[in-house]
Amino acid sequence: MEIYYHIMFFIVGTIFGSFYNVVGTRIPNNESIIKPGSHCEYCNHELSWYELIPIFSYIFLKGKCKSCHHKLSIFYPFTEIATGLLFLISFHSFGFSLELLTSLILVSTFIIIIVSDINYLIIPDRFIIIPSILIIIIDLFNVGLLNTIIQIGYGILGFTLMYLVMLLGNKLFKKESLGGADIKLMFLIGLVLDPMLTIIVLFLASFIALIPSIYLLYKNKEHIVPYGPFLMIGLLIVYFTKLNIIEIFEKILKII
């Protein structure tokens, strides 16, 4: 039965991943996620049901539009597979619980932000506000009013920390060093982690972003790096490995 649930969470995750592609590409462009229906971005061919099957439709169509034969981005099946795997990991980590809902919200936010920030260098406020509100509601049922207020305080602390990092970066580089969305994203991170883990997320995200940032700075004439996805990667790593990540950092500090 456990294997069945794991498989189902993966399948459901791929379906949501396909939908998150739509959300992440349309919302930043102020487009409806309902109308028009799914279509080819190049020839506006309306996709039939078998062209909407996550992962398999990309394979069957050989990565090309059925109508105009334009090559489709590998990003689509990548996000579907990633969402499926993260849904599976969420269930494996938390089972049927309220924390599972929080995990699925974080995973969903991560995928949508990746699509939006990488493609458009934009993270609309609703991508942060909506999951934050949902997590606060879940916390009220899961840990009670007092602990929820404490977590909100941690969120404000995370927001403040990132704001101070931005001010320091602006002073050092003599230009805007962080986007406003990255600062707001730290509030969401603080909502689900304690201050120590939030700081670890910041360091971890910066470390993970180092090599990709060098490449993007070389390729991108505007020298803009989408930092939101790296923050979310750091968040998910810490969220799924809370105790282990603390032990790892303690060992590193002892070596230093």
Digit-coded pLDDT (tens) for 147-167: 999 999 999 999 999 999 888
Per-residue pLDDT band at 126 (split at 50, 70, 90): very high
Q: Is 121 helix (H, G, I), strand (E, B) or coil?
A: coil
Beta-bridge partners for 64? 71
Question: Do 63 and 73 contact (CB within 8 A), yes or no?
Answer: no
Mean pLDDT score, 113-126: 91
- How far is 254 from 242, CA to CA, in rounded Å? 19
What is the residue-averaged pLDDT of the chain? 86
- How far is 253 from 248, CA to CA, in rounded Å? 9
Q: 0.85 exceeded by the pTM?
A: yes
Provide φ and ψ at 64, rounded to 5°: -130, 155
Residues whose CB falls within 8 Å of the CB of residue 86, separated by 6 or more in sequence, listed in order: 13, 107, 110, 111, 236
Q: Which of 254, 209, 199, 197 lies closest to 233 in space, CA to CA? A: 209
pLDDT reported for residue 115: 93
- How far is 112 from 115, CA to CA, in rounded Å? 5
Of the chain, the percentage scoring pLDDT greater than 70 comes to 89
- How far is 16 from 210, CA to CA, in rounded Å? 30
Predicted confidence (pLDDT) per residue in 229-251, tens digit: 999 999 999 999 875 666 666 66
CA torsion 235-161-163-231 (nearest 10°) is: -10
Q: How many CB atoms lie within 10 A of CB 249?
A: 17
Residue of higher predicted confidence among 59 and 78: 78
CA of 181: how far to CAs of 6, 88, 174, 189, 245, in Å? 33, 28, 20, 12, 26
Provide φ and ψ at 39, rounded to 5°: -150, 165
pLDDT reported for residue 93: 92
